[in-house]
Structure 1
Amino acid sequence: MPQARWPRPARNWKLPRVAREASRVESRSSRDRSKSCSEKRWTQRSGRIKPPPRPRDAWSTRWARTMAGIGMTTGLRALLTARFGLDTVGHNISNATTPGYSRQRVALAATHPLMSQGMFVGTGVEALAVHRNVDALLHRRILGQTASVGSLAARWTGMSEMEGLFSEPENGLGGLMDDWYAKVSDLSAGPEDDILRTGLVASGEDLGSRFRQLHGQIGELRDSFASQLEIRIGEVNELARAISNFNREIGKTEVGGATANDLRDGRDEALRRLSELVDVKAIEDAQGVMRVIVSGSLIVDSGKAHEMSLFKGQDGSLALEVDGVTGAVPIKGGQLGGLYELYQEQAPTHLKSLDAIAHELIRGVNRAHAIGVPKSGPFESLTGSNRLKDMDGDGQLTDELLSKAGLPFEISSGTLYVSVTADDGNVTRHALPISATHTTVGGFLQQLDAVPHLSAEVDALGRLRIEAEAGYGFDFSRRLDPHPDDDGTFGGGAASLGSATGPFALSDGDTLSIDVGATNIAVTFAQSDFAAISAATASELADVINNTPGATSAGLVAVVVGDALYLQTAGTGASESLTVQGGSAAAALGLAGQIGTPVSGSNASVAVTVSGGYTGDVNDEWIFRPNGDGVIGTTPGLKVDVFDGSGAKIATLDVGDDYQPGQLLTVGAGVSVSFGTGTLSASHNDAFGLDVIAHPDTTDTLVALGLNSFFVGSDASDIGVREELRDDPDLIAASSTGAIGDAGILLDLLDVQDTAVAALDGDTVQGRYSDLVGSVGFEAGVAITALEANQALLDGLELRREEISGVNVDEEMVRMMQLEQSYTAAVQYIQTLNQLQDDLLNLL
């Protein structure tokens, strides 16, 4: 804003009245004194009274008086200007330590000279105005840099506090995870040890407690950021009102043309303090009104200050609103910007990472633990720890998709294997196909209910509960079926005839004629019985045959091994017989060569016993087939070939005359098998299947439902050890087979420690936590480095401002001495002028 200047005197400037009167008084006084002295000297010398002086020339007297008036005014101006300068110096010294004060200076200029006797005669000095020593561009740079420093300072403070939360003392989260895995390792050496089991549970509780504590501390820290934002916004509003008040006062003060230096300093200081809180842009108009803009929104205009307020959404996010502005205003720069970034980005990001670590730890541990067998053996009943939810609000749970029923872990399409164990040790495994897009809660309950000797329901709390009948137990383990030939299709006592491997190219209306003893059963295959009759499966064929009228009463049974169909008699013994008599389907089934050839049962059946534990990494079904007809342990060269699910031969077992029945033979991948005495027939396609299961649950249904879990919860806020395990550590499912001393599941739990997790970008759980701790520390380090660099830049700008606008007391003292000398000189000048005037008038 242009500085006001005092008006210069007009060219016809006359001596001020006061000066003229002073000049006349001085002149009369001087004349009287001169007259008195002159007359006294004359009388003393001559003894006579001095005669009256002759009359003076009128023009000479007028000229003398005029010149005396000009000189007097020049002296008075010099005197007043020096006094004005001294007052300004005193003001500067008094405010040398006042924050935001700008050094003031008096602008001086020579007054217009007067023309006299053909010459310009100077008339002295005048004070035009008092200016502030300010650099507007530097001031704007300081405002911007102050906002940057304020933001970085707030960010560094917050990140330092967060870094303290992630510090790793002995009870740090990383150390507790290491301790838990150490307890798992200890228990794997003695899985039956009660003390070690109790120690593992206690370590898990400590780990869960630390997760929850850290989650809560980060949440509290985030809430403190929000509280600080509220406080800072209050300060912003207060400063905005102060600036608005300064605008009004400056407008009133400067209406006469003078500059309100001290008010402007106060406004600039308020603006600087405001820039510490938020990035601002200030624009001053021609009337001296300062408009303040934050993120494109006016918070101070010509009339008033607009209040800021903080709005919290339902998701916990914060938004800044300004009175009179529609929509949210971005928060940038200053302490508000730093705190907002901490609240909205840093804290949620690290909290999300911590939750993801806990989530994947729960998933990985429970995925391994869920398929284990506790010390007490298979379960008689089991209740999930996670609740199903009525997502559509219709009051029914059964119509919800299992994968969309509000469970904390995802369910994918695949197969869940359930093993049912009778008191006599016989194990039956059942495969339950799960579709993420089709299987409903009700459908899953029906699948479980369809498993012999099991029932399932959803309790009042929405948890799945599975019950076994008396005399039976169940689990979801990968243990091998010790007696896989339940149907007797491998040298069993029933008459048995196997088909080729499917699928089978049948046509609508194809038939198959079978004699069971003296009873003929005619089977007709209709297109409606198959998904695609031209690619009929063995399971579809078995369903049609078993549902054919008269088949059951005649003792005809159809079973499936692999992809092959087996026709059997219900009874066993040498008296049982079965004959394929023909039919249009016989050729497609690979039975054309068997037409008319009776198949007899046997009084002795081959006992197949499987042992060991499968160590492969894929689920599969192995098919065992003899390569000829003969008696185990008797027929030379008799062998059993083993094929995997793709049809590739993986082993050949010698059961000829060198084989001792009951001798254990190694198949591979941790699996062994033995055969009892009996007859095998490759001609009748004797075979049995063995499910080798690496992953009993490829769907994560057990994890999602919380069945046989170690941890409960879904993230860092609620992770903990399952209550049943806390009450009874024997329920820790350490075994993968149920055998005493087996620690297969514990070894799997140890593998979780080193397992790369896709959801963690291929990192391990502990690796991701280490990255999180490092990330927090790195961000704190970056913040302090940036703060120091920006603070140094701000210090440089402030130093430059101090050089321009600051008060140097030593310099002011020098200036004061100069002005004092000027003042003294002006006084001396006036006194001298008086004397000269007297002398001049006496001469005239």
Structure 2
Amino acid sequence: MTSFNIGLTALRTAQVALDVVSNNVANANTPGYHRRRVELANLNPNVVAGHRIGNGVEVNYIRRLHDQVTESTLTSVISDVSYVEASLNIENKIESTLLAGDNVIGDTLNQLLSEFTNLSSGPNEATQRQAVLESGQQFAEAIRNTVSQLQDLKKTIRLQVDNEVENVNDELAQLSDLSVQISRFEARDLEHNNELDERDALLNRLAEMVGLVRSERQDGTLSLMIGRHSVQQGVNENSIRVGGSPEQLEIYMDERQTPLTLDNGRIGALLTAYNETIPAFEEKLNELANGLINTMNQVHGTGVGPDGGFQNLIGNIVSDSSTDPLSTVIEHADLQAGEFTIGVTDANGVRQLHTITIDPDVESLDDVAAQISGLSGLSASVSAATNQLQISALPGLSFDFAGGVDTEPDLSSVTGTSVAQLGGTYDGDSNETYTFRVDGSGTIGRGTGLIVNVFDSVGEPVAQLNVGEGYEAGSPIELPNGTTVAFSAGTLNHADEFSSTFVGDPDQVGLTSGLQLNSFFSGVDASTIEVDSKLLDNPTRLAAGKTGDLSDTSNLPAFIAIRDATVMPGDRTFSEYLDEIATEIGFQVQSNTRLNESLTTYKLRLEEERDATSAVDLNEEIVYLQQYQKSYEAAVRIIQTTDNMLNELFSIIR
């Protein structure tokens, strides 16, 4: 009878529905599980006695409840959250590297600059000189350690990238297998909801690692993109690989030669940190170290320690070429065309200044050596092995780059018998030529009206010196900028004159810092900076003065002025620039912390929206359970009733 068949279809359908509900309840806490719903369809009716009567029910399909838009958006947000979290983790490590520890760069820098002020109050104290050098070592060690830690962080990131790439390729292989299974089930028109759940979970894991964009079409097919490259879903699985260089990591997909543009996911964050974030801070630290090296070395190189000048001096810098222009082989210093002055002192203390002109865009290291060798009492050469400049003085002579004055000016045009002698320490900032012109004739220290007028390089009078009555022969007379002149016993004739150059900027080229001649620091950046070993071996070489006297502190004001010197980008001091570095990483951490909180909140909201559609609600499932249980019981009653009717019919026939 038809009723029996109808009851059987109802019974079977109720059994399937109960199984689906039971499966939902069993997987209520299974991650990634999407609840199922049985979609029923009535069977085509039969025609009985001219009437179309229903033929029962069947399971049309088992529907997997999900929201395509929410699922796709959630996958993208998972990529964003993973990117920001990984970036924030790395930025926290960078901030800790820059600001944590006993030898914080800023503290050691301030201590170093303060020690020069302390030295000015006790230039004769060996312990104070040692304190300057020790503070220099502490700063150098602090900044070297910081860069080393950043390099170690990059090595760790590289290992993480390799590990993440391996995990991504494992997931892509699983994705390919799943896609094949899904295609086969679809071809056989079989339910494949478990595989779809597994695929969604897999895609979200991929999104965390590499950044993934998914777009689900109405027909159920899925379009996937990683870094603007489509991901195949089928037998030929995709894979990614690490390429590029040690300085610039790239990720490539399959055999493509164009690198992926990864703006999301952990790998994207790791690449950004490796290629951009960490190098940016390394560059800033290198800029800070290089600026301080050049500034300190320029001041120290143009000073003299208590040991006085040098008989022999070798520059620290090893250049690539001795024949190419200086500006092309010395890139760590800002060389300028100008004059370079070397002072040569003999055994009697007589000092003579020699000046050469250098254009670093034209002249090479060999050219500089040749010019120095042309100066009286000096010779220079360039090492064939290392291209280091070496300067030597003849026996009994010493040299320095402190500028100042010729102690015995050129008096060849003076007709009188008195000899002028210059002295003192010139403290002017620029080079100046003074002309001394005699007004009147007579004997030094006698008579009236014997005057020497002093004019600057543009002819303006700067001093009027009485060397007649009241003047004691040989007594020094003060001149501008810390210098003196003395006239020995003898005569001066009217209109006699002589000139002398007072050198306040002996190194307009920047050669002492560029070649690191008589330097405070060696090295050129944050990873190579250290106090010059020759200074550590002999602290009396610390150039606190200009004359070589133990108590001379004439060079210390230039060291002290470094604290407030605005030589860093943006007209910032060294401390301000260092503070800016710390502020920058702090701002990045703060910004990404807020962004992470915002994205995490958005992710949680999307998960709630997804769960509202896809998660199992046990209360709701109990309602369905009762509903299908009643349907099952009713189907049983139909079958039982039909069976009773058949039994009665058979009993009548018998």
The verdict on a shared fold, with TM-score over 0.5 as the criterion, is yes
User: Are the equivalent residues in 2 in contact too, given 1:247–1:290 (CA < 8 A)?
Assistant: no
> Any idea what the Cα deviations from partners look like across 1:575-614, whole Å, max 9, x if unmatched?
xxxxxxxxxxxxxxxxxxxxxxxxxxx4x32x32434333
Aligned to 1:376: 307
CA distance in 1, matches of 2:548, 2:256: 69
Per-residue deviation, 1:94: 2.0
Residues 1:811 and 2:623 are matched in the alignment: no
Whole-angstrom distance in 2 between the partners of 1:795 and 1:650: 80
Q: Give 1:475's aligned residue.
A: 400
After superposition, where does 1:246-325 map in structure 2 within 5 Å? 246-282=178-214, 290-313=222-245, 316-325=247-256
1:166 partner SS: helix
Q: 1:223 aligns with which of 128, 135, 155?
A: 155
Among 713, 716, 719, the alignment partner of 2:526 is 716
Alignment of 1:189 with 2:121, yes or no, is: yes
Structure 1 residue 664: Cα displacement: 4.4
Aligned partner of 2:561 in structure 1 is 751
Q: Partner amino acid for 1:414?
A: G
Q: Of residues 814, 824, 827 in structure 1, which corresponds to 2:633?
A: 824
**Offset of residue 220 of structure 1:** 1.0
Greater alpha carbon shift after TM alignment, 118-127 vs 461-470: 118-127
d(CA) in 2 for partners of 1:141, 1:628 = 98
| Offset, 1:637 | 4.4
Contact preservation (8 Å) 1:401, 1:437: yes
* Residue pair 1:283, 1:291 contacting (<8 A) in 2 also: yes
3-state SS, counterpart of residue 41 of structure 2: strand
Q: How does 1:88-99 map to 2 (within 5 A)?
A: 88-99=20-31
- 8 Å contact kept, 2:365–2:389: no
Task: Give the counterpart of 2:499 among 673, 689, 696.
Answer: 689
Q: Shift in Å at residue 679 of structure 1? A: 4.1
Deviations 1:143-191 (A, max 9, x none): 1111111111111111111111112443211111122223222222121
Residues in 1 aligned to 2:453 and 2:50: alpha-carbon distance in whole angstroms: 139
Residue 782 of structure 1 is aligned with which of 591, 605, 618?
591
- In structure 1, the partner of 2:388 is 463
Asked whether the 8 Å contact 2:28–2:616 carries over to 1, the reply is yes
Question: SS of the residue aligned with 2:225?
Answer: strand
Determine the structure 2 residue equivalent to 1:568.
none
Alignment of 1:318-397 (within 5 A): 318-390=249-321, 397=322
1:44-101 superposed Cα distances (whole Å, 9 cap, x missing partner): xxxxxxxxxxxxxxxxxxxxxxxxx232233222222211111001111222222221
Give the match for residue 18 of structure 2: 86
1:454 aligns with 2:385: no
Instruction: Give the Cα–Cα distance (whole angstroms) in 2 for the partners of residues 360 and 235 of structure 1.
Output: 44
Deviation at 1:117, TM superposition (A): 5.6
| Contact kept in structure 2, 1:251 and 1:288, CA below 8 Å | no
Unaligned runs of 5+ in 1: 1-68, 391-396, 496-601
Task: For residue 288 of structure 1, report the CA deviation from its aligned partner.
Answer: 6.2
> Residues 220, 735 of structure 1: CA spacing in aligned structure 2 closer, same or farther, 3 A cutoff?
same
* One-letter amino acid of the structure 2 residue matched with residue 171 of structure 1: N
Whether contact under 8 Å (2:365, 2:382) holds in the other structure is no
Q: Judging changes above 3 Å, is the alpha-carbon distance between structure 1 residues 271 and 480 closer, same or farther for their aligned structure 2 residues?
A: same
**Which of 436, 450, 453 is equivalent to 1:624?**
436
Contact 1:615 1:694 in 2 (8 A): yes
Are residue 706 (structure 1) and residue 510 (structure 2) matched? no
Flag the 1:243–1:290 CA change in 2: closer, same or farther, 3 A.
farther
Q: Is the 8 A contact 2:20 2:37 kept in 1?
A: yes
Structure 2 CA distance for aligned equivalents of residues 344 and 189 of structure 1 = 48
Q: Which string of whole-angstrom CA distances, capped at 9 and with x for unpartnered residues, describes residues 685-706 of structure 1?
A: x222232222210111111211
Q: How far apart, CA to CA, are the structure 2 residues paired with 1:407 and 1:731?
A: 27
Which deviates more from structure 2 when the two are superposed, residues 421-430 or residues 747-756? 747-756
Which deviates more, 322-331 or 286-295?
286-295
Aligned AA (1:252): R
Structure 2 residue identity aligned to 1:482:
T
The CA distance in 1 between the partners of 2:431 and 2:236, in whole Å, is 75
Q: Does 1:731 align with 2:532?
A: no
Aligned to 1:443: 367
Q: Given that residues 18 and 628 in structure 2 are in contact (C-alpha distance below 8 angstroms), is that contact kept between their aligned partners in structure 1?
A: yes
After superposition, the C-alpha distances for 1:661-692 in whole angstroms (9 at most, x for unaligned) are 45544432333434445544454xx2222322
Q: Deviation at 1:842?
A: 8.8
What code does the residue aligned with 2:342 have? V
CA deviation vs aligned residue, 1:500-546 (integer Å, no higher than 9, x gap): xxxxxxxxxxxxxxxxxxxxxxxxxxxxxxxxxxxxxxxxxxxxxxx
| Alpha-carbon shift at residue 137 of structure 1 (Å) | 1.2
**Which piece of structure 1 moves more, 632-641 or 91-100?**
632-641
Q: Is the 8 A contact 1:293 1:300 kept in 2?
A: no
Q: Residue type of the partner of 2:410?
A: D
Matched, 1:612 2:421: no
RMSD: 2.5
Amino acid in structure 2 at the alignment position of 1:618: S
Identity %: 28
- Contact 2:78–2:603, Cα closer than 8 Å, also in 1: yes
Distance 1:435 1:783 in 2: 49
- Whether contact under 8 Å (2:72, 2:215) holds in the other structure is no
**Distance apart, 1:487 and its partner CA:** 2.4
Asked if 1:650 corresponds to 2:575, the answer is no
Question: Given residue 279 of structure 1, which amino acid in structure 2 is its aligned partner?
Answer: G
Are 1:404 and 2:328 matched, yes or no?
yes
Q: Secondary structure at the match of 2:40?
A: strand
Q: Structure 2: where are the runs of 5+ without partners? A: none
Separation in 2 of the partners of 1:615 and 1:130?
A: 94
Residue aligned with 1:669, SS: helix
Q: Which amino acid aligns with 2:267?
A: L
CA distance in 2, matches of 1:242, 1:411: 60
CA distance in 1, matches of 2:445, 2:297: 46
Give the structure-1-normalised TM-score.
0.73
Residue in 1 aligned with 2:349? 425
- TM superposition shift of 1:113: 4.4
Letter paired with 1:641? N
Distance 1:640 1:824 in 2: 132
Query: What is the CA distance between 1:638 and its match in structure 2?
Result: 4.4
d(CA) in 2 for partners of 1:110, 1:437: 93
1:321 aligns to what SS in structure 2? strand
Equivalent residue of 1:744, what SS?
coil
Report how far residue 734 of structure 1 moved.
1.4
Give the deviation of 1:107 after TM superposition: 0.6
Q: In 2, distance between residues paired with 1:776 and 1:282?
A: 33
SS of equivalent residue, structure 1 residue 192: coil
Distance 1:286 1:767 in 2: 58
Structure 2 contact 308–547 (Cα < 8 Å) conserved: no
Task: Give me the TM-score of the superposition, normalised by structure 2.
Answer: 0.93
Look up the SS of the partner of 1:387 in the other structure: coil
> Which residue in the other structure is 1:144 paired with?
76
Question: What does the per-residue CA deviation read over 1:305-363, in whole Å, with 9 as the maximum and x for residues that have no partner?
Answer: 122111132x6211222223233222221111111100000010001111111111111
Q: Is the 8 A contact 2:546 2:552 kept in 1?
A: yes
Q: Which amino acid aligns with 2:632?
A: Y
